[in-house]
Structure 1
């Protein structure tokens, strides 16, 4: 399609958009009395209007049933987390038995590493990407130290080539092969949080298995954003937060994937608690742990029902729409945003360097833009004008036009605000 940088063209794209009606199902903050242009669904998704209803249901049940809500609420609490399994399985490409919801993301990665980072005398190294999200860096380093190893020796970082913004798949595969039988675990973010690069998870997983390592994925920026086939790719484990593209609310519950080949095992290393115990015998208070026959065996404590309610509300919409439709719009709206950026770049004689890969197979919702010659002053201007975006040092803004609630007209209007901000600065400078 030949794009045009005009409001009329953007409005026409919105009319053709099969998902346009979902925009009204979300609540937008306002700046100066107008709904914002929201580009930070990669940090915190907007609130679904239905979330309040789901939370109110729990509050009502708590008020009217108290402890009996565990069994007699319409959505009983004792098996509340089970309502996620089938819907989440469709989002991440798994079997319902392989997914569960519990805790928060880094907590779950720590718990999963109990099962999947089991260093031995020779096989003790972890491969991750250079400058992973800080929480992953802290988590991996602390796990290595806990097992008595020096992070400088046990952690192997895959690096970008000098002068390049993104990782090359051949470099990742070569590093896995080089570490070889010293590699205990490959643990990478499925989508790089800084550049928005999507990794070839299938190929990397296969390479890790070929050297005898476990392979896990932090899917914080991938779940609800990219096509995932965790079962088909034979991934060992994965975890993701729910508050970014999945719109569950700040700091909310995490999802987990544990490959079915690790189910029904009593001897697998695992930190255990009563919510992972055989559901039918959970309230018999038996002294010996009997694991659930699925990913729920990794559950530890009672499900946080109030926190999970908004997640269930959002997940209902994912199930209605389906990932293929979301990805179709994602590709189109990101391509239009990319076009707008290049057009404004020409008009203001500035230089925007999009450091996210051009190849559609290597990117998803996010475009990371290096603002050469601009600075935080421009970011502040955008925020004041109701463009909610994200600043990352040294000079990058991350733009994530989430397909559920961002419009093509948003992309056009953003371009006009960006253009005005740069021209105003140039006028003052002159």
Structure 2
């Protein structure tokens, strides 16, 4: 499908009828327009799964079951569970699915804590600066939590590093002037230019702002050739794009589960540690990282569980973990390759429609937008729409009109709107409707339409 031959609404509806995955939408609860801040009734067009995924109906069932166990059995639910999910091992049914999804061994994966806490945990063990190799490579446009966290670690090594080294520890990657995304060859050049001083390279699998999918397979050999470790933030990657951590030879990674895995607000995240990666005896130990066979003997000596689970700290929170199981089981049933195929078609259709718009890359001085997100294969489901800089200040009004008309995306100031049609619950018909809503919002702005009050509908992508 090309922009010169964009589909009609009838054709989009036909695509939905023929879609072999059209049944998965019924597995989710679709938000109401009015409840999402819009005007009118009916189901919202929810294109915000890159920020918070929808509630799986089976997850609701699981949550009620856990509440019933708490109410009827209380503490014994840790050991005896009517649904074979004892709380002390609540992560056990999750681990095989997660390992398969990220392309790793089960022993390399742990379901624990939150993304930034896991980042700090792993950097404490694996960032081992020396007088010669102490620098960390990270993109300047990284998610703020990553940026803040990474900057804090050189300061913890002031006994080894001089203040000058601490001040010079971060190498920030940024696109070429006039470009919005990073080129692989430019990243490789930075690595080569600084090869003698780099200790860790930290990148996202998918960039949160632009939606760019990084070429990890090409970058990993270069990172290791200069004697550095390679770490990934997979918050916007897991459940969205193909992950092959073992094949890519990534050293460690972290992720969250509330976006494409639909585990609920601030749900428990996870991490990966490559088998055999040496922490040099540096580890933040905790009770839950102790060998499970002796954990409840309360022994004074810490004996870590082999593999990634030996870096866990506290017991796994049940209510912010168990909703994840529903989506992981659904993905396994659907087949992730089938999801990827639909993702390309679904998001590709939105891209074609957007590029067919007269507001796409208009003549200078006109109201319009460009796409920050690369075309396939360098992206997942997200498309980042950037209102042109000369249209300064109009993005909040455009975004408010989208929300009022039932399209739920999210905004990133000063001028970006992110839309993410998600395979498991969005339809081709919704893609067509979303495009029409955006076109109407831009037309109203072009004609001098004015909204006196812009609602704060920023769907913040939390840690």
TM-score range, shorter chain: over 0.9
Secondary structure class of the residue paired with 1:238: strand
Counterpart in the other structure of 1:27: 29
Query: Deviation digits for residues 290-323 of structure 1, max 9, x if unmatched?
Result: 1112211111111101110111122111211122
Superposed CA offset, 1:362-398 (max 9, x none): 1111111112235321111001111011111221111
Does 2:206 align with 1:206?
A: no
Match of 1:353 in 2: 370
* Cα deviation 1:314-369 (Å, max 9, x = unaligned): 211121112211111110011100111122336996533111112x1211111111
List 4+ stretches of structure 1 deviating above 4 A. 346-350
- Runs of at least 5 residues in structure 2 that lack an aligned partner in the other structure: 34-39, 451-463
Residue 430 of structure 2 corresponds to residue 410 of structure 1: yes
1:424 match? 444
Residues in 2 aligned to 1:67 and 1:266: alpha-carbon distance in whole angstroms: 36
Matched, 1:369 2:385: yes
One of 4, 7, 10 as aligned partner of 1:5: 7
User: Displacement, 1:202?
Assistant: 1.9
Instruction: Judge conservation of contact 1:369–1:397 (CA < 8 Å) in 2.
Output: yes
Contact kept? 2:188, 2:219, Cα under 8 Å: yes
Cα deviation code 1:407-427 (max 9, x no counterpart): 100011112212222222333
Match of 1:385 in 2: 405
1:52 aligns with 2:60: yes
> Aligned partners of 2:225 and 2:28: how far apart in 1?
45
Contact 2:360–2:370 (CA under 8 A) maintained in structure 1: no
Q: Which structure is higher in helix share? A: 1
**Is 1:342 the counterpart of 2:359 in the alignment?**
no
Q: Deviations over 1:190-216 (max 9, x none)?
A: 111111001111222221111111111
Cα deviation, 1:5-49, whole Å, max 9, x if unaligned, reads 321010011112111111111112112211111111111111111
Matched, 1:315 2:325: no
Separation in structure 1 between the aligned mates of residue 384 and residue 120 of structure 2, nearest angstrom:
29
1:239-258 matches, within 5 Å, as 239-258=254-273
Q: Residues 274, 348 of structure 1: CA spacing in aligned structure 2 closer, same or farther, 3 A cutoff? A: closer
Work out the CA distance in 2 between the residues paired with 1:137 and 1:348: 31
Q: Any idea what SS the aligned residue of 1:226 has? A: coil
Give the structure 2 partner of residue 332 of structure 1. 345
Partner in structure 2 of residue 289 of structure 1: 302
Higher deviation after alignment, 346-355 or 49-58 = 346-355
SS of alignment partner, residue 401 of structure 1: coil
User: Corresponding residue for 2:291?
Assistant: 278
Provide the rounded CA distance (Å) in 2 between the counterparts of 1:323 and 1:235.
21
Give the direction of change, closer, same or farther, for the CA distance of 1:295–1:420 in structure 2 (3 Å limit).
Answer: same
Deviation larger for 322-331 or 420-429: 420-429
Query: Residue in 2 aligned with 1:165?
Result: 180
Specify whether residues 122 and 348 from structure 1 end up closer, same or farther in structure 2 by C-alpha distance, changes over 3 A only: closer
Contact 1:266 1:291 in 2 (8 A): no
Partner Cα separation in structure 2 for residue 183 and residue 421 of structure 1: 47
Aligned length: 427
CA RMSD of aligned residues (A): 1.8
Contact 1:239/1:256 (<8 A) preserved: yes
Distance (whole Å) between structure 2 residues aligned to residue 114 and residue 266 of structure 1: 9
Q: Check whether the contact 2:233–2:255 (CA below 8 A) recurs between aligned residues.
A: yes
Deviation per residue, 1:167-209 (Å, 9 max, x gap): 0101101111111121111111111111100111122222111
TM-score, structure 1 as length reference:
0.95
Say whether the 8 Å CA contact 2:47–2:422 is kept in structure 1: yes
Query: Please, what TM-score do these two structures have when normalized by structure 2?
Result: 0.89
Q: Which residue does 1:78 correspond to in 2?
A: 88
**Equivalent-residue separation in structure 2 for 1:193 and 1:348 (angstroms):** 22
> By how many angstroms is 1:266 displaced?
8.5
Q: Report Cα offsets for 1:242-272 as digits up to 9, x if no partner.
A: 001111001110111111113xx79531111
Q: State the alpha-carbon separation in 2 of the partners of residues 285 and 122 from structure 1.
A: 42
